A and B are shown apart, each in its own frame.
Chain A
Amino acid sequence: MSLSADEVRKVADLARLDLTDAELALMAPQLSAIVDYINQLQQLNTDGVEPLAHALDLHDVFRDDEPGQSLPPDEALANAPARKGDFYRVPPVFGD
């Protein structure tokens, strides 16, 4: 099975990745080879097998709801690429 350039472009769009044409050209055959390899799983019969999302038999872990110190705004925003006051600054979300 091989992924076409269009399929690879669609996945890149879903992943919000800007890929150059050179990257796209390399990615299609590489992903196709990996997907081919992964397709061996289809040989296995897994009827009635429950998926295992992680190794621990843990569900709904609770801890006491104790008030604590929050990160002060200046520390929380220290790594922001752009800020305005106590907010992260981004381009307009709606419109344009």
Chain B
Amino acid sequence: MLDLTATELLQQQTAGALTAEAITRTFLERIAAVDQKVRAFLAVNDTSALDQARTIDAKRKAGHALGKLAGVPIAVKDILCTKGQRTTAGSKILGNFVPPYDAHVITKLREADAILIGKTNMDEFAMGSSTENSAYQITRNPWDLERIPGGSSGGSAAAVASNQAPLALGTDTGGSIRQPAAHCGIVGLKPSYGRVSRFGVIAYGSSLDQVGPITRSLGDAALLLEAIAGPDRRDSTCVHRPVPEYSATLDEPIKPLTIGIAREFWGEGLDAEVENAVRVAVKQYQRLGATIKEISLPHSPYAVAVYYLVATAEASSNLARYDGVHFGHRAEKFAGLIDMVKKSRGEGFGAEVKRRIMLGTYALSSGYIDAYYLKALKVRRLIRQDFDRAFAECDVIIGPTSPTAAFKIGEKTADPLAMYLSDIYTIGANLAGICGISIPCGFTSGGLPIGLQILAAPFAEEKLLRVARMFERETDWHRRRPVV
């Protein structure tokens, strides 16, 4: 049962072969058996998940209408507020924070009758690419427990890859869904900016953050996106656009299909095995009739620099709310109000969060704002224009998700800049607001998964999923599971 996709779990319940309770019990047992090794979860909802499952089974028995994800367990990143349940964003500063409301996506999951099975580990405030920045625990890559699962949604990706949950939600500010999905050999979708409500998502970079699916199949990603997307009056940047039935059109190939290959995505730093796997994938698309077109995204080499100004500037402003006054940690000893704020923040935030707040504060400070923050916003427009030009001549852009496979725990912690550069292919999509996905496309000789990134224009998720599905149905990379 653990290998079944959400789509299959739904079918089996409809057919009467499985109950929500049996499914939930099986996944809870799996978590109990393997999570001491993987350490994906910060909290497991043993009791409430089973209660929810029994309610759904009773509704089904009584012939009531059921939601789109009825009886399917889902793990959610601990950055999503859950009413009455501790939500930490991986930070000590929120160590005792119990939100008084649900994030919009959590409300949508409850409406869809999904089973909330637990909350997953993450880099503190989603700042990181390895999940090593969590204040609570190190999550391990299920394919090699000595390696990182990617980040910042590393807990969600590791949970899905190790069959501890069929579905998960992550958030992606600079690649935090796609990169861990690539490192764990699964599917990770970052929706276009404005596709999914950010209400109740603990903010990092508000012009970049999006919530999205982490799954083992494209069918499941389509289904989960359908369940969470759409307007919300509490997020003014969540647009009023109908949500297509992604799962209904998923199996229709895009014909004719023009694929853009950006020459900037194949440069220095790209591991040879990763490059080879992605080139083989491009050839596969060619065999399926796609036209391959070499394109250029001339400003993409500047994306990391722009990101680490824009995201940190927004973070320094967003994280100003953690002042020990309204909620979160307050220092015990201090001399006056300002000192209380400083000490609370000094004690509550971890090293990477401090570094980014410092960088953002510096970029916004008097004398530097024009040279750094405004300059970055101008280059951001040039990056967006590169994508606009590219999507005028091709349907999607294909390349590697990450320049290397998963690195070793501890390998990059001493060098923040090296860690930042591992996001080089994913960051552009957040700056430009376009959608992107990572799907499995092979393994290194050492047995580590490799991710293929596909990017599409804003709100072209339907096309993105259909193009990705063309590859998935021809290959079986997505069926491989690690032995934990």
Contacts and interface: CB of A to CB of B under 8 A. Distances in A.
Main secondary structure on B side of the interface with A: helix
Given A18-B346, A79-B328, A52 B384 contact: yes
Contact of B381 (A31, A50, A58, A71): A50
Most chain B Cβ neighbours within 10 Å, of A18, A50, A78, A80: A18
B191 to A, nearest CB: 12
B407 interface: no
B351 interface: yes
B62 interface: no
Contact of A15 (B324, B351, B357): B357
Contacts of B254: none
A19 B355 contact: no
Interface string A31-75: 101110110111010100111111110100101000000010001
Interface in B68-104: 96-98, 100-101
Contact of A41 (B306, B358, B361): B306
B308 A16 contact: no
Interface stretch (B160-168, B233-241, B289-297, B394-402): B233-241
A46 B365 contact: no
A24 to B, nearest CB: 10
Contact of A55 (B325, B337, B433): B433
B464 to A, nearest CB: 16
B378 A11 contact: no
Interface string B335-378: 01111111101110101001101110110010000011011111
Contacts of B341: 16
B305 interface: yes
B193 A54 contact: yes
Interface residues of A, number: 51
B417 interface: yes
B458 A11 contact: no
Given A23-B351, A33-B417, A40-B302, A56 B336 contact: no
A34 B304 CA distance: 10
Contacts of B236: 58, 61, 63
A45 to B, nearest CB: 10
A23 B326 contact: no
Contacts of B328: 79, 81
A29 to B, nearest CB: 11
B183 interface: no
A40 B300 CA distance: 13
B330 interface: yes
Most chain A Cβ neighbours within 10 Å, of B100, B309, B416: B100
B384 A55 contact: yes
Interface in B402-432: 416-417, 420, 431-432
Contacts of B380: 51-52
B123 interface: no
Contact of B349 (A17, A38, A51, A79): A17
Contacts of A78: 98, 100
Contact of A42 (B345, B362, B375): B375
A36 to B, nearest CB: 9
Contacts of A88: 325-326
Interface of A: 3, 8, 11-12, 14-20, 23, 26-27, 30-31, 33-35, 37-38, 40-42, 44, 46, 49-56, 58, 61, 63, 71, 75-76, 78-82, 88, 90-93, 96
4 closest A-B pairs (Cβ-Cβ)?
Answer: A55-B433, A18-B346, A51-B377, A81-B330
Interface of B: 96-98, 100-101, 192-194, 206-207, 233, 236-237, 239, 299, 302, 304-306, 308-309, 316, 320, 323-330, 334, 336-343, 345-347, 349, 351, 354-355, 357-359, 361-362, 365, 371-372, 374-382, 384, 416-417, 420, 431-434, 458
18 contacts: A11-B365, A17-B354, A18-B343, A18-B346, A23-B351, A23-B354, A30-B355, A31-B362, A34-B308, A37-B304, A37-B305, A41-B375, A42-B371, A49-B381, A53-B207, A55-B433, A56-B237, A91-B337
